[in-house]
Amino acid sequence: MLTTTQEPTAVSEISVHDPQDGTFIASVPRATLADVEAALSKAVAAREIARDLSTYRRTKILRKTAELVDARREEFATTIAREGVKTIREARKEVFRCVETFRFSAEEAHRLNGQTLPFDQRPGSENRVGYFVREPVGIIVAITPFNDPLNLVAHKVGPALAAGNAVILKPDHATPLSALLLARALADAGLPSDVLQVLVGYGREIGTPLISDPRVRMVSFTGGRETGEKILRRMGLKKVSMELGGNCPTIVLNDADLDSAVPECVSGAFWAAGQNCLHVQRLLVHDDIYDQFASRFLTATRAYQLGNKLDETTDMGPMINEAAALRVETNVAEALQAGARLLTGGSREGNVYTPTVLEHVPSSTSLYREEIYGPVTILERFTGLDEAIAAANGVAFGLHAAIFTRDLFSAFSAVRRLECGSVMVNGSTDYRDDSMPFGGVKGSGIGREGVPFAVLEMSEPKVVCFNLNGDAVSSRN
């Protein structure tokens, strides 16, 4: 339960507290408008330094960073667990993924290749030859959320450095310590000063000056859809990559392997207390197996252990703050008022909200249509695959979807017709490999992350064309 006790903190600092009990962890400098201007000025010079780093040096720095994070993995995991919402077991998995993200980034620095171009395919260009190369964008502003305070930072910083950019990072003000630890690891790995700068502050104070400055050539944002739309209105003409969350459906057909489907879906529903863009929010279960699936799912949900995040036996921790838990409580109450049925959970103590499952949730409610970002999952019956796919597609998001089935025809039919960035077959929506293209359609965002694809987003092709006709070319003996 979150307490209100706080350590005295200067106005120029931000206090970081453990959301589990309000314990003071640390204070960090609070960025001001003057800090933003100083960071942008330094980034102008740093972008040239970053651009001129050889492939060998970029690779060496990124590989060394991966090694340092791996060597300090328990320190990183404890920091993630203390400042954020993850249990220590969840945090260790995030550290492992961060190490892999930097290893992938090191590999992609070697693969930033161009290509020759056949200009002579056009009449009149028979004497032209050329190619294109990929060059860095320049200065990238990266904005990251609280739920994955290390690996989502890695997903922006690693590819940006692999492509030769300078980065100004604004982590979530509630969970900045993991990002600062990572910045220290990068510095220890040899990253030149100011190529990565970290500004910890409130979006309402420093967000607009950062994203709207013309010296910034790209904004990479992970967060809520409402904030993403504000950024788009204010950033001006520059590149953008946005992951804006989801409302992820998982379809369970009547031939599904429930021994696999139930634990996968329970984990996907309550990982990081549901504060996860890939959270299993809607479970669409075939009527033939609905009762059996629901019984097993509810049994596993009720067995979920809440408690101290640093305890090895704890399955789920708190929400990030009491306001977030109150929002979930309000959405559940609205659904119940509209006719939904509560199957388990539905109680709150401070910022701890119990794992919750409902059925008969009207499609008009916020709980059904929006991203809940909390430990709440909806069960819904269907009788045919067409009905399930229509329900899955019937919201404004399209990040991940999933289907459990043994039938290849059903699987491929769902893959073709589901409106989303990724379809998981015989796995829940809460799966991501750090090298795969990651992002969504509709309200779930713009562009793709995943290291190889982020590197392309964070670089630009430059065409070089030589005219080799006799009049244009001279030679020296």
Note the pLDDT tens digit of each residue in 161-182: 999 999 999 999 999 999 999 9
Instruction: Spot the catalytic one: 243, 371, 449, 457.
Output: 243
Angstrom CA distances, 132 to 113, 202, 453, stand at: 9, 40, 18
Q: Do 207 and 296 have their domain in common?
A: no
The pLDDT value recorded for residue 214 is 97
Instruction: Spot the catalytic one: 90, 277, 322, 457.
Output: 277
- Total domains in the chain come to 2
Q: Do 203 and 283 have their domain in common?
A: no
Q: Could you list the residue range(s) of the whole structural domain that residue 165 is in?
A: 13-244+444-463
Q: Do 256 and 138 have their domain in common?
A: no
Q: Do 220 and 260 have their domain in common?
A: no
Q: Quick one: average pLDDT of 11-15?
A: 89
Q: Do 129 and 252 have their domain in common?
A: no
Q: Do 30 and 161 have their domain in common?
A: yes
Tens of pLDDT, residue by residue over 204-213, are 999 999 999 9
The confidence band for 469, taking pLDDT boundaries of 50, 70 and 90, is confident
Tens of pLDDT, residue by residue over 213-260, are 999 999 999 999 999 999 999 999 999 999 999 999 999 999 999 999
Confidence check: pLDDT of 68 > 80 = yes
Spatial CB neighbours of 133, under 8 Å, sequence gap ≥ 6: 114, 461, 462, 464
Tens of pLDDT, residue by residue over 332-350, are 999 999 999 999 999 999 9
Confidence check: pLDDT of 276 > 80 = yes
Confidence check: pLDDT of 4 > 50 = no
Q: Do 214 and 252 have their domain in common?
A: no
CATH number at residue 370: 3.40.309.10
Confidence check: pLDDT of 10 > 90 = no
Q: Does residue 404 contact residue 256 with C-beta atoms inside 8 Å? A: yes
What SS3 state is found at 355?
Answer: coil
Confidence check: pLDDT of 8 > 70 = no
Mean pLDDT of the chain: 95
What per-residue string of b and e applies to 189-228 under the rule 16 or more CB within 10 Å gives b? bebbebbbbbbbbebeebbbbbbbbeebbbbbbbbebebb
Tens of pLDDT, residue by residue over 370-408, are 999 999 999 999 999 999 999 999 999 999 999 999 999
**Phi and psi torsions of 284, nearest 5°:** -100, 110
The pLDDT value recorded for residue 3 is 30
Confidence check: pLDDT of 474 > 80 = no
Q: Do 238 and 272 have their domain in common?
A: no
The pLDDT value recorded for residue 371 is 97
Query: Is there a catalytic annotation at residue 277?
Result: yes
Confidence check: pLDDT of 11 > 70 = no
The confidence band for 5, taking pLDDT boundaries of 50, 70 and 90, is very low
Whether pTM exceeds 0.85: yes
- Residues of the chain with pLDDT > 90: what percent? 96
Burial class (CB in 10 A: 0-12, 13-18, 19+), 178: buried
Tokens of 273: 């207390």
- Is 311 a domain residue? yes
Confidence check: pLDDT of 80 > 60 = yes
